[in-house]
Amino acid sequence: MNQDAERLILLLAGNATIGALTESEWEDLIDYARKSSVAQVLFVYLKSQSLSIPPVAAERIRNIYLASAVRNTKLFHELKNILLAFQTAGVTAVPLKGAWLAEKVYSNIALRGMGDVDLWVQRDQLDEARRVMVSLGYASRSKSDRPQELQDALTGETQMFKTGAPMVELHWNVFPGEWLRHTAFIDEQEIWQRTLPLQGENVRQLSPEDAIIHISVHFAVNHQMSMPGLRTLLDLYCARQKLNIDWVTVAERAKAWRVSTATWLVLRMLAELFGDPERKLPLQELRPSTLRRKILERFISPRNFLEGIDISSGPKRFLFLLALVDRPADAFYLSWRALMPDRTWLTLRYGLQAAPAWRVGLQRLLHPLRIAWKRKI
């Protein structure tokens, strides 16, 4: 572990015994914290630990915190307007990830950096939710390689944009993506029924156990552990301190949903870097086979994780995702579907819904060649 990472984790974990640092060392630590998307947290943590900091470094940390407070205040003001409009229209929403963590887990909206807002709505309310967003001045935009028709049918995501406002992602699928569609077994209606009131009945939140699995799986599967990882581990560290989590239930659900390996990988990294002194994390219950662990360790270690690993593209990404599946048979199926996607995905991905059978068949032959050429699916 590099020295900046070690010092930063000690501070974030509430351990002030990092020794006296020079002004240059503080600057390096702040730079690393910014790179890890947790620099705004330092202001409150250092203040609570009464550390002596050089004035220049202290002012820099304060300015980062204040900038985050201003940015997130605007974001939450916009989110409040959206949720009020949803309530008027009878749409129930569940804030996910940053919007939920900042308010519920950090209890200070300035402490959790956010680039956008994620809201989960039921699929039968998605069209109404979009109409509300349009009435507020938002417009939808498809990802370049994922047409909106494909997102509506399978991905469950609509990106909404408005000038001067954060991007808002409307989800009807809280566990999206082809990996999960082909390898996991998740009943999202049960998850919805377990949601709890956050701001009345129309603004709800995931149960603590479902939230832990959601954060872990989203990080491992959707981001391949490659986004600013320390921020996600800090999210989980704060969540386990703030929330009353039944870790036995976390393990049971992760195994039943076939996402135990992905959940284990993230929680193991949490234990490696932030510790697990009370041994509450269900690492033993979720632990994959020895062979699977050795394979995953070739991709992820505490050292390369903190240095900023990037396996979000290319063949390495696909091999990593194969290693994450809970059942070996699912790895074979995932490989098959990557090369030979089902008709629904194929036609929606390439805009061939009304195409004749021969054109769809031709695209099926071309699809593996495109993967080889583009080095991505």
pLDDT value at position 242?
Answer: 94
Under a CB-based contact definition with an 8 Å cutoff, are residues 141 and 163 in contact? no
Q: Hey, CA dihedral for 99, 190, 216, 274, is it positive or negative?
A: positive
CA dihedral 149, 213, 322, 269 (to 10 degrees): 130
| Structure tokens, 319 | 């091999």
pLDDT of residue 376: 67
The list of the chain residues with pLDDT below 70 reads: 1, 15-17, 19, 142-145, 375-377
Contact (Cβ atoms closer than 8 angstroms) between residue 209 and residue 246? yes
Between β-strands 167-171 and 116-120, what pairing exists: parallel, antiparallel or unpaired? parallel
| Residue-level pLDDT at 52 | 80
Three-class DSSP category at 94: strand
Per residue in 86-106, pLDDT tens? 999 999 999 999 999 999 999
Specify the pLDDT at position 203.
96
What predicted TM-score, i.e. pTM, was given to this entire model?
Answer: 0.92
- As given in the structure block, the two tokens for residue 233 are 């581990």
According to the model, what pLDDT value does residue 377 have?
62
